[in-house]
Homo-oligomer: A and B are copies of this chain.
């Protein structure tokens, strides 16, 4: 199967599952469920859940055992976008070309819809109990991944540093790498690790996949910042990797990261072909 079709097929599968597991638009009280669904279905490449499915696939794990957890990571991602877009944080009116959740439903509903998506993400982890192939111990490991990647050492810590425009003391590049790991790579890494955990991967396999996840996560955020600068959408208050090292070096460094990511997968031989294609996709992607 070619890469575009692979992505398309996985995306369909994930979106169909999310449609099935989210409360209906008319479930009481309708307004919050409409807001949740509005944000979940406002585009999005579904990168994180696709990475999870592709990782589990390396070990021959059937997609049906991965889909609830794949939805969980996408709901966590959507929760973070809704809260990030709020007037008190980034104050964004548009995302992916569509009005943000609070522009359509109001700040109050958007705030609570974000909260509800986070809770629903954890309910999805719990729903794995229904799948007899998944052990209870595995579900607890998934909970660990899905709480750790959001906590103040990771995603929320990164968001805080963005919000307060924290400036580094000396080593700006090291500071930015650590920030990008928190705010972006942590969630991408958790998606990949969760796929490996579900599929019963061995310790050294999880280690290699974690390395891959960290590298593509960093490259993803650097590419994001490069695209912002090229599309003249940079936020002047925010220090970014290309803003510090220049566009040219930022591009070279993100290419190096992708190379490193692919190298980490060498232990899987050709079983990781789609993860390798995903790494290249991250470099070439448009917003």
The residues of A with any CB-CB pair to B shorter than 8 Å are 23, 27-29, 31-33, 36, 83, 86, 88-89, 106-109, 111-112, 114-116, 118-120, 122-123, 125-126, 129, 136-137, 139-140, 143-144, 147-148, 150-152, 156-157, 159-161, 163-164, 166
Contacts and interface: CB of A to CB of B under 8 A. Distances in A.
Contacts of A151: 116, 119-120, 123
Nearest to A179: B29
B83 A156 contact: no
Contacts of A86: 88, 111
Dominant secondary structure of chain A at its interface with chain B: helix
Contacts of A161: 29
A34 B114 CA distance: 23
Contact of A140 (B32, B136, B156, B160): B136
A23 B157 CA distance: 12
Given A122-B143, A151-B123, A29 B112 contact: no
A28 B111 contact: no
Contact of A137 (B136, B150, B157): B136
A124 to B, nearest CB: 10
Contacts of A120: 151
A27 B151 CA distance: 12
Given A86-B88, A123-B148, 20 more contacts: A27-B152, A31-B160, A83-B111, A86-B111, A88-B111, A89-B111, A109-B164, A112-B159, A112-B160, A115-B118, A116-B151, A118-B118, A119-B151, A119-B156, A120-B151, A123-B147, A123-B151, A126-B143, A126-B144, A136-B137
